A and B are shown apart, each in its own frame.
Chain A
Amino acid sequence: MNKVEIYRGWCKKCGICIAFCPEAVLEADEALYPTVKDPEKCNGCRLCEMRCPDFAIVVYRNEESYPETDSSPGK
């Protein structure tokens, strides 16, 4: 299974990782920090990590379950 870690010390709660996760793995907690709601659903695409402006999220990938996704227009 893939593992998503959020480093609260650097997170500014912008919501980008939550809004654009293609599998809706993340949600905001009461303090508006992202948390992992559904770890099994994570496809390891890493888009949350790549789009975090504050380098506050890292995805540890289980290589076997990694599908090629792209971020071309419309996706």
Chain B
Amino acid sequence: MRETTHLVHKYLRSSKRFPHIWCAGCGIGIFMQSLIRVIDQKEYSKDDVVLISGIGCSGRLPVYVDFNTLHTTHGRALTFATGIKLAKPRLKVIAIMGDGDAIAIGGNHFIHAARRNVEIASFVINNQVYGMTGGQCSPTTPDGTITASSPYGNLEPDFNICRLAEAAGATFVGRATVYHTRLLEQLIGKAFEKKGFAMVEVVSQCVTYPGRTFGPDPAVAMMKWQRDNSITVAQASKLSEAERQGKIEIGILVDKERPTYHEEYQKLLRKKPKV
């Protein structure tokens, strides 16, 4: 059998070891493939794209691909991304974060990047757990869940990442699961085109930690759960708050226009204010 020629090979770093380090059936690889496919469709030059991540299993993604990449510190992907966009506005700036990365330690950067409307296409891979460090609670772990750091059940209600982004001022907000790959690609494309802060929540599966309670075939069981519990934004609008509980609302939640931070900054530079 001849070796499979896959589109992603055009973008993988040949110096890296494959198969990649993610566990069998982990959703991060599915998102990575979607991201690459959209970049390829848009025909962006590799030199014009910069991928920035923090730390975590999700944060490993940029390591594997041959764009300008930055693997920064936990929670700070958006901080570096903001600096890059201000210094080099022509670049397509993409931030990849985990749920802990973006919403726990990086929560402050997250709300302020959205508030400033920095033009960054940002993606939060929400597997509802700290995957890399061994399955502890994150701010998106559902109430009552038993994890490594909540052996008697999590006492905290979970954050809705999309609503948080919306409230903080994000101009594009969407959500898809890795099961809904076609929708995921549409949202990635929209986020790339957005003149402003775009955030897509990618609901994904960590098969190794939360997956432990999903039986012998956790990847398949967790993707079935994504399929069976998702409702579209239109369907959700007809339900009460109580009926929406436990459902994953997928689609575009926000799409609006606002002046972007780097354009305002460029205007200021042109004015050359006296100090």
A→B interface (CB under 8 Å): 5-7, 9-16, 19-20, 47, 49-58, 70-74
Residues of chain A contacted by B224 (CB below 8 angstroms): 19
A73: contacting residue among B25, B27, B250, CB under 8 A: B250
B179 touches A71 (CB 8 A): yes
The minimal Cβ–Cβ distance linking B145 to chain A, given in whole angstroms, is 23
Contact status A50-B34, CB under 8 Å = yes
Contact B182 A52 (CB under 8 A): no
Closest 9 CB pairs of A and B: A53-B29, A14-B25, A12-B24, A7-B4, A19-B220, A14-B24, A50-B181, A14-B219, A10-B19
B193 at the A interface (CB under 8 A): no
Contact in complex: A51, B220 (CB < 8 Å)? no
Known A-B contacts A13-B24, A58-B6; A47 and B181 likewise in contact (beta carbons under 8 Å): yes
Q: Nearest CB to that of B218 among chain A residues?
A: A14
Q: A5-B1, A53-B29 are in contact. Are A72 and B8 (CB under 8 A)?
A: no
Closest to B36 in A: A55
Give Cα A13 to B1, complex, Å: 18
Q: Contact check, B19 vs A54: say whether CB atoms are below 8 A apart.
A: yes
Interface residues of B (CB under 8 A from A): 1-6, 8-9, 18-20, 22-30, 33-34, 37, 178-183, 207, 217, 219-220, 223-224, 227, 230-232, 235, 250
Which residues on the A side are within 8 Å of B179 (C-beta)?
20, 51, 71
B-chain residues with CB within 8 Å of residue A9 when the two chains form the complex? 3, 19
> Contact between A15 and B232 (Cβ–Cβ < 8 Å)?
no
Q: Which residues in A have their C-beta under 8 angstroms from that of B182?
A: 50, 70-72
In the bound complex, residues from chain A placing their C-beta under 8 Å from that of B220 are 14-16, 19-20
Q: Cα distance A62–B12 when bound, in Å?
A: 27
Contact assessment for A10 and B26 in the assembled complex, using a CB-CB cutoff below 8 Å: no
Other-chain contact of B33, A52, A71, A73 (Cβ < 8 Å): A52
Known A-B contacts A54-B29, A55-B29; A71 and B19 likewise in contact (beta carbons under 8 Å): no
| Distance, CA A52 to CA B20, complexed state (A) | 13
Report the separation of the CA atoms of residues A52 and B30 in the bound assembly, to the nearest whole angstrom: 6
4 more contacts with CB within 8 A, not counting A7-B3, A12-B25, A16-B219, are A12-B24, A16-B223, A51-B181, A56-B4
Q: Can you give 7 contacting A-B residue pairs, CB < 8 Å?
A: A7-B4, A15-B217, A47-B181, A51-B179, A52-B29, A71-B183, A73-B250
Given known pairs A50-B33, A70-B182, A72-B183, the reply for A55 and B22 (CB within 8 Å) is no
Complex-state Cα separation, A5 to B2, whole angstroms: 9
